[in-house]
Amino acid sequence: MSQRLVLLGPPGSGKGTQGTLLAAALAIPEISTGALLRDQMARGSALGVEARTYIAQGHLVPDAVVNAMVRDRLGADDAVRGFILDGYPRNVPQVGVLDQMLDELGWRLSAALEFSLAENLVVERLTRRAALEGRADDSEDVIRERLAVYHAQTEPIARVYRERGLLKRVDAAGTVEDVTARVCLALGVAV
């Protein structure tokens, strides 16, 4: 059966890493809005230029921009097999927009996986990633802002999916392998 998954969790919870592993194992595309936006910025497109100021400050890029990007990507041929959305939806209005897109396509989500990690571990991981990857939005001030945005705007999404019976929580502490094992257990898949 096709897996159509949404990954939730704070920046630094490892959802990107797990999303990439899972997408490869299930042979379905990983659709990361953060990665798509960074790609647009690297190419210097109009969309990238618009997104840059929001991302640099740790704020969300306007919904209209991100929604259009996801709509486009879900329309590509490979999404028919299933997909993993990493970083979208990011606020409650985006949940509604995704619902509408999926309705139009005749698809239903399989699950929303929420990666949970204590705040001190989140900050530790993001600080380490800053040193390794040099992402401009991994500086201390911007990390703090991104976490505030996460709590205010993204965390409430979990409740919406919980009420629909779609939420599966995964403890994101430990090694990459530990977390992958928990993800597989939660989804009932083998990687």
Q: Which residues participate in catalysis according to the annotation?
A: 15, 90, 129, 135, 146
Q: Which pair of structure tokens corresponds to residue 92?
A: 């409650």
Taking alpha carbons only, the member of 53, 69, 63 closest to residue 137 is: 53
Q: Which pair of structure tokens corresponds to residue 2?
A: 């096709």
State how far the Cα of 173 lies from the Cα of 169, in Å rounded to an integer: 12
Amino acid, single-letter form, for residue 72: D
Residue 87 CB, nearest approach to ligand AMP (Å):
3
Residue 53 CB, nearest approach to ligand AMP (Å):
10
For the segment 47-106, give every residue that binds ligand AMP (CB under 6 A).
54-55, 58-61, 66, 87-88, 90, 94
Residue 60 CB, nearest approach to ligand AMP (Å):
4
Q: Does 33 bind ligand AMP (CB under 6 A)?
A: yes
Q: Given the complex with ligand AMP, which of 152 and 185 has the nearer CB atom? A: 152
Spatial contact of 19 and 7, defined as CB atoms under 8 Å apart? yes
Spatial contact of 111 and 26, defined as CB atoms under 8 Å apart? no
Q: Does 183 bind ligand AMP (CB under 6 A)?
A: no
> H or E segment at 31?
strand 30-32
Options 10, 14, 19, 34; binder of ligand AMP; rule CB under 6 A = 34
Return the SS3 of 144.
helix
How many chain residues bind ligand AMP (CB under 6 A)?
17
Q: Residues in the site for ligand AMP, rule: CB under 6 A?
A: 11, 33-34, 37, 54-55, 58-61, 66, 87-88, 90, 94, 137, 146
